Amino acid sequence: MICCRLLPVNLISRIKTLSLWILFILFSNGQCFYLPGLAPVNYCEEIRATDTCKSQVKLYVNRLDSEKSVIPYEYNSFDFCRANGDDSPVENLGQVVFGERIRSSPYNISFLKEEECKLLCVKHYDFSDPAAVEKIDFLKKGAMKNYEHHWIVDNMPVTYCYEVEGGGSFCSLGFPMGCYVDTQGVAQDACMVDRGRFSEPDTFYLFNHVDLQITFHSGNSEVWGGNFGDRGGRITRIKVTPRSIKYDSKPTEDSCSKSPPEPLPMSLKSKYGRNEKLTIYYTYSVLFHKDNSIKWSSRWDYLLDSMPHTNIQWFSVLNSLVIVLFLSGMVAMILLRTLHKDIARYNQIDSEDDAQEEFGWKLVHGDVFRPPRYSMILSVFLGSGVQVFCMTLTTLFFACLGFLSPANRGALMTCAMVMFVCLGTPAGYVSARLYKSFGGYKWKMNVFLTALLCPGVVFTIFFILNLFLWAKGSSAAIPFTTLIALLAMWFGVSLPLTFVGAYFGFKKRVFEHPVRTNQIPRQIPNQTVYTQPVPGIVMGGILPFGCIFIQLFFILNSIWSNQMYYMFGFLFLVFIILAITCSETTILLCYFHLCAEDYHWWWRSFLTSGFTAFYLFVYCIHYFMTKLTITGTISTILYFGYTLIMVFLFFLLTGTIGFFACFWFVRKIYSVVKVD
């Protein structure tokens, strides 16, 4: 039988779970199977520990980041307590690229062993030592910019939950390392932990104590591999409450008391004298709580349900999809009815006198398939666009099945990069065959540009941004060995696959167009404002952008505001709607231009839907100005650098969709009319 549980968050995820169970029944042959990152772990007391039941609850620390800065730092970059050994889990490619650095922590937690004000480590600072001054200054910088810890226990994020307006609660994936009260006495949001105690102006407060509450589920039905009763179970939630406590001596159990009078907060002055000294004690408390109402299979629900604007997002996405589907249906209906009348009228023309009265898009049948200018670059863009399209479609498909869930860290980015590298064959095939159909003969240049141009643009921007991160000592800086691995994947896998695809593309016959091309190009009449190239291209990207901007807001939140994105089912639907909308918009505008006897549709079809990327860039600027609090020149450069990469790939994706939709449309309409 199948003994695995997935992550049901809502009805859609339960449907995904059911489909996965069916697949597992067909292919597992009765063996127990778990998705990566989703296997349950049993915990019990130390005296009952076995191979199937662990007593040590490992706490891992991840990078620290901030909404005010794009530059994350590794945990050990700050002068916090460090672990003696290093049994850190191996990070996958996606985690490394995203800057995650999961390390062991010095916290010693045993299952069901509660601690009260346990000393973690002691840090002494003598400000006559420049190294000590540098360490304290870096701690103050992190507190001022609201850098947050990100901890992991049992593959679950340690969450910091607090009340928000309206009586609800919000659980953040990180918790602040400290806070700052400015010279005017205004405290940062991070000081909301206990605003009454943080009141001294121009002072930094360090959260040097954490209260950890670990919730677990116990019972025979959930604990597999043995009956541990109330003395064992599976961890379902881990919540943390940071506190700032000033210790005058080595902490005792009474030092962390929450009852009045509470201890003074651990404050850091903005400036220290050369002869001053400082001692910081780091402590923690651990409390275990049994709650059998929370199943292990649904332990992520509280975190996902507490994401801000979740209900609004569901309503907005559904509303957007209905509107876009309605508009797309109207456009398709009008276009099909008009075309049907045109084709019927053209096919009824029999006499020579009637033939001389031809008008509209039939007049340009001898020029509509004339090869475009810069056919080399167009074919290269289309090949790379097909590669991006296939990568996106495949990645979203696996994400909808649950293989790329938030529990499997870095899997989404890893899958996307691996898919892009392995899809060099369709890129080479499409680029080579189109270039051959355009009459090109520089096939070597075509293959090399397909394999190197667009990936080279992305890698160059990425490498330049990585230099800034290296200079800042950020954890997001890609190690040199990883860069070598990325280059090896590019030149060792993607490049040969592109050559293979190009070989088969050039071996294929050129596309046979339904009408012949005249030797002398036809003169294009003067165009009205709305049939000129630039206005048509500018208008073409509005409707496709309208179907993605709501989802785009939550995607940007997940990237820049440390919020979890998990609605891949809706994202997949939005992607399909985007493809349909790009296709219909491009076809509609192409039809108008052909009716105006303008047969230059090759580049225009690509740029019309590709212009959606321009609106994406404008929206990212708006998001930066209104939603983010990023400060600093380097952080601003990094934000817009990564945005350029996203916009460029989106340009290739949408442009390719529009081109092939228009390519199919033009071939279709000219194949059903009588042309002498």
Note the pLDDT of residue 462.
94
Q: Does 230 score more than 70 pLDDT?
A: no
pLDDT tens-digit map of 114-153: 888 889 999 999 989 999 999 999 999 999 998 999 999 9
pLDDT tens-digit map of 542-572: 888 988 888 888 888 888 887 777 778 878 8
Q: How many CB atoms lie within 10 A of CB 619?
A: 17
Contacts of 249 (CB under 8 A, 6+ apart): none
Please tell me the distance from the alpha carbon of residue 139 to that of residue 116, in angstroms, as a whole number.
26
Provide the Cα torsion 3, 6, 10, 12; round to 10°: -90
Output b/e per residue, 165-178; b: 16+ Cβ within 10 A.
eeeeeebbbbbbbb
Residue 138 exposed, middle or buried by CB count within 10 Å (0-12, 13-18, 19+): middle
Among candidate residues 605, 530, 91, the one with its CA nearest the CA of residue 372: 605
Q: Which of left, alpha, beta for 30 (phi over 0: left; psi -120 to 50: alpha)? A: left
Among candidate residues 528, 563, 433, the one with its CA nearest the CA of residue 171: 563
Q: Does 674 score more than 50 pLDDT?
A: yes
Which amino acid belongs to residue 534?
V
Please tell me the distance from the alpha carbon of residue 257 to that of residue 400, in angstroms, as a whole number.
47
pLDDT confidence band for 194 (50 / 70 / 90): low
Note whether 225 and 53 are within 8 A (CB).
Answer: yes
Residue appearing with tokens 């160059």: 460
pLDDT tens-digit map of 483-538: 999 999 999 999 999 999 999 999 888 888 888 877 777 777 777 777 788 888 88
3 state SS of 338? helix
Residue appearing with tokens 């019990």: 44
Please tell me the distance from the alpha carbon of residue 371 to that of residue 517, in angstroms, as a whole number.
9
pLDDT tens-digit map of 1-40: 333 333 333 433 443 443 443 333 333 343 333 444 467 8
Q: Does 440 score more than 70 pLDDT?
A: yes
Q: Does 675 score more than 70 pLDDT?
A: no
Contacts of 301 (CB under 8 A, 6+ apart): 8, 9
pLDDT tens-digit map of 238-295: 999 998 888 888 887 777 777 666 778 888 888 888 888 999 999 999 999 888 888 8
Note the pLDDT of residue 293.
84
DSSP state of 55: -
Note the pLDDT of residue 600.
84
Note the pLDDT of residue 167.
64
Note the pLDDT of residue 273.
85
pLDDT tens-digit map of 101-118: 899 999 999 998 888 888
Please give the residue that has the higher pLDDT: either 476 or 35: 476
pLDDT confidence band for 370 (50 / 70 / 90): confident
Among candidate residues 161, 176, 187, 156, the one with its CA nearest the CA of residue 58: 156
Note whether 183 and 202 are within 8 A (CB).
Answer: yes
Most distant pair of Cα atoms in the chain: their distance: 107
Please tell me the distance from the alpha carbon of residue 442 to that of residue 371, in angstroms, as a whole number.
15
Structure tokens at 176: 């602040």
Please tell me the distance from the alpha carbon of residue 256 to that of residue 42, in angstroms, as a whole number.
31
Please tell me the distance from the alpha carbon of residue 450 to that of residue 378, in angstroms, as a whole number.
10
Please tell me the distance from the alpha carbon of residue 624 to that of residue 622, in angstroms, as a whole number.
5
Please tell me the distance from the alpha carbon of residue 380 to that of residue 447, in angstroms, as a whole number.
8
- Tell me the backbone φ, ψ of residue 467, rounded to 5 degrees: -65, -40
Please tell me the distance from the alpha carbon of residue 82 to that of residue 80, in angstroms, as a whole number.
6
Sheet harboring 277-290: ordered strands across? 43-44, 232-243, 209-217, 277-290, 115-126
Note the pLDDT of residue 350.
55
Structure tokens at 612: 């959606």
Note the pLDDT of residue 336.
73
Note the pLDDT of residue 227.
53
DSSP state of 494: I
Angle at 419 between CA 415 and CA 425, to 5 degrees: 175
Please give the residue that has the higher pLDDT: either 197 or 413: 413
Among candidate residues 597, 589, 605, 577, the one with its CA nearest the CA of residue 663: 605
Question: What CA–CA distances, in Å, run from 9 to 14, 511, 578?
Answer: 7, 48, 26
Please give the residue that has the higher pLDDT: either 72 or 675: 72
Structure tokens at 582: 């790009």
Structure tokens at 429: 């095939």
pLDDT confidence band for 220 (50 / 70 / 90): low
Note whether 79 and 247 are within 8 A (CB).
Answer: no
Note whether 148 and 177 are within 8 A (CB).
Answer: yes
Mean pLDDT, the chain, whole residue set:
82
Note whether 59 and 105 are within 8 A (CB).
Answer: yes
